[in-house]
Structure 1
Amino acid sequence: MTNPPIPAQPPVLSAERLATALSYAQYRQRIDELMAQGQTTGETQSPELTDYAKLNIQRMQRLDKKAELLPELQKTLEALTQEYAWVIITEGWCGDAAQIVPVLEKMAQASNGRIRTYYLLRDENLDLMDRYLTNGGRAIPKLLVLHADTRTEVANWGPRPAEAQDLFLETKAAGATHEEFAEKLHGWYAQDKTRAIQQELLALVRGL
Structure 2
Amino acid sequence: MKSIVAKALFNSHSYAEYRKLVTDLLSEGKSTGAEQSESLTHYTSLNEVRMNRLEKTITITEDVIAKLQNLDHHYIWLVLSEGWCGDAAQILPILNKMTTASHKTIDLRIALRDENDDLMSHYLTNGGRAIPKVIVICKEAGIVRADWGPRPKGATELIANYKKEFGGIDEKIKTDLQLWYLQDKGISIQNELIDIMENIKYNRL
> TM above 0.5, one fold?
yes
TM-score, L = length of structure 1: 0.91
Q: Cα RMSD (Å) of the superposition?
A: 1.4
Identity of aligned residues (%): 43
Contact 1:84/1:114 (8 A) holds in 2: yes
Could you tell me which runs of 5 or more consecutive residues in structure 2 were left unpaired when the two chains were aligned.
201-205
Aligned residues: 199
* AA at the equivalent of 1:129: M
Mapping of residues 143-158 of structure 1, within 5 Å: 143-158=134-149
TM-score, L = length of structure 2: 0.92
Q: Which of 113, 118, 123 pairs up with 1:122?
A: 113
- 1:122, 1:17 → 2: CA distance? 9
- 1:73, 1:189 → 2: CA distance? 18
Greater Rg over alpha carbons, structure: 1
Contact 1:87/1:118 (8 A) holds in 2: yes
Q: Which residue of 1 aligns with 2:28?
A: 37
Does residue 196 of structure 1 match 2:188?
A: yes
Does residue 100 of structure 1 match 2:87?
A: no
Q: Which residue of 2 aligns with 1:6?
A: none
Q: Which residue of 2 aligns with 1:4?
A: none
Q: Which residue of 1 aligns with 2:203?
A: none
The 4+ residue runs of structure 1 with deviation greater than 6 A are none
Shift of 1:143: 0.2
- 1:150, 1:16 → 2: CA distance? 16
Does residue 24 of structure 1 match 2:15?
A: yes
Distance of aligned partners of 1:156 and 1:12 in 2 relative to their CA distance in 1, 3 Å threshold = farther
Shift of 1:81: 2.1
Contact 1:63/1:99 (8 A) holds in 2: yes
Q: Render the CA deviation track for 1:104-136: whole Å, top value 9, x for unaligned.
A: 111111111111111100001011001000001
**Equivalent position SS for 2:4:** coil
Distance of aligned partners of 1:12 and 1:60 in 2 relative to their CA distance in 1, 3 Å threshold = farther
